[in-house]
Amino acid sequence: MTNTVHIYKLSRLVHASPAEWEKKLRELEQNKDRAYAYYQPAREAIVRLCLAPKMKDKIVEALIAKARRVPHGKGSDPVRDNVKAFECFEQAFLPDIRSFREHYLRTESRGGVPFEGVSITGLPHFAATDNDGKERYAFLYPSAWTSKDLAAYLEILGFIIEKKFKKDASSIWCMNLRTGKSVVYKPSLRLRKRCGDAARLYARLAKSL
């Protein structure tokens, strides 16, 4: 049986040494639900805004209500952070979308994508056509990951887009919801190989458990 791993988990292992893996995997498992849920209100609100921009006021009300129920640690503020991410998208990225095509929130990648002995799950957040008429696959990025972790995530996401949607990985549209700037995806054969090495090691580790 092929082992399944989410793109987020695999990307966090790409630049970790094998000696760090046990600790990394334990931390990822412990924080899995919280990491996903923290910005879920903003992601859902952004998709709803793209589908029905005239409903913005009600969308924001729902966003705030959902963010208030998000589990969080000391010093964090889900309402503030989700509202900021939403407003950043509305101001910086919504004007650059010519047409919204479909979203992939709360969906699995329909069996995953085979990659070096594992099946990778995870998808972009939505598909849209930009003002230049190009078909793009958006990744809403409101967090503050290290540059290495973000590069690994985008490299694996590019692979998924190539295999799942039969599109070039350059169609990734990484929307930084902190800065309002697009993060340019730069394909790297070296990084792709490193991701593959991490996937093979993960597959071997999973079989030994």
The full set of domain ranges for the chain reads 3-208
- Interval 13-37 mean pLDDT: 81
Distance CA 205, CA 209 (A): 7
Q: What is the mean pLDDT of the chain?
A: 91
Say what the pTM is.
0.92
- Interval 164-171 mean pLDDT: 94
> Is 163 a residue whose pLDDT tops 70?
yes
Residues 85-111 have pLDDT tens digits of 999 999 999 999 999 999 999 775 566
Residue 209 binned pLDDT confidence (cut-offs 50, 70, 90): low
Cβ neighbours of residue 35 closer than 8 Å, sequence gap 6 or more: 8
> Is 118 a residue whose pLDDT tops 90?
yes
